[in-house]
Amino acid sequence: MTEIPEHLRKRAEEARKKAEAAKGDAGAAADAPAESAASSEAASKIPAHLLERSKSAKQKQAAGAAVAPADSGAGVAVAAATATAQAPAMTGPAGHTQRLLTVVKSGSIQDIKMKPQDKVHVWPHLIIIEFGAALFVTAFTIFFSIWVNAPLLELANVNQTPNPSKAPWYFLGLQELLTMFHPMVAGVTIPGIGLVALGLSPYIDRNPSNRPEDRKFAVSLFTVHMMFWAVLTMIGSFFRGPGFLFIFPWAEGLFFEL
């Protein structure tokens, strides 16, 4: 139920008293001629239909009609509005003549529900996870290096060149290309085309979807790139023997070391 402020309740009581006094003056002037009644109505500034409404309301109250409690929101609001309408001409602090019907609390008209969000802050959610992963990888590398020795070869002999002489496994793809193309093509042109294609792929494929089945162009480009270098690295690792000649590992042996 809506609570009516105390100052509004007092204002309604004063307006009711003034309305009763005005109604008494109007009843006394009813026996006078029409000219005196018109002058009395002009002096009181109360319309005739409002006086009739007030008189009928008083008669209903005298007959025993039910009256709403003083603290009910609708009854007090209507009574305050009727009493204010019967008042001669009440003005507020700034000269306003608007009548107050009811007082509505701000919580009933304001939407205080928060909209769900599917985003989280980088700090602390993402940074904590990445920092924990970095600590785990670092600890694993340290303990792994304590108990497992690195596969290092013997000291290099300047008088003896190993045959075959292979690059590390991550460069064997480029070394395999050198057996097929000119060094300028194998070392600059082909790798440059691959890097440029990978760099331009986000601008060519502008599909915002995160589902792999919707990103066919990006998935195809990355698959071709990875398979190309994976095949070249496997050939250079297991199918190249002395003199970097093509061999079968199950016939000539395995010429590959980490």
Give residue-wise pLDDT tens across range 1-17.
556 777 778 888 888 88
Q: How far is CA 227 from CA 106, 214, 224, 230, 233, in A?
A: 65, 21, 5, 5, 10
d(CA 103, CA 82): 16
Residues 144-159 have a mean pLDDT of 84
Partnered with residue 240 across adjacent β-strands are 246
Are the C-beta atoms of 61 and 54 separated by less than 8 Å?
A: no
Task: Delimit the domains of the chain by residue range.
Answer: 6-105, 117-150, 158-252
32: pLDDT strictly greater than 90: no
Overall size of the chain counted in residues? 258
pLDDT category at 139 given cuts 50, 70, 90 is very high
**CATH top class, domain 158-252:** mainly alpha
pLDDT in tens, 65-118: 444 444 444 444 444 445 454 545 555 556 666 665 566 665 555 555 666 667
d(CA 73, CA 51): 25
CA–centroid distance for 7 within its chain: 44
Are the C-beta atoms of 75 and 1 separated by less than 8 Å?
A: no
CA R_g for the chain: 48
Q: Counting beta carbons within 10 angstroms of the beta carbon of residue 184, is it exposed (0 to 12), middle (13 to 18) or buried (19 or more)?
A: exposed
**Ramachandran region, residue 243 (left: φ > 0; alpha: ψ -120 to 50; beta: rest):** left
Measured at the CA of 47, the angle between CA 46 and CA 51, to 5 degrees, comes to: 80
Are the C-beta atoms of 257 and 150 separated by less than 8 Å?
A: no
Are the C-beta atoms of 142 and 218 separated by less than 8 Å?
A: no
The pLDDT of residue 136 is 97
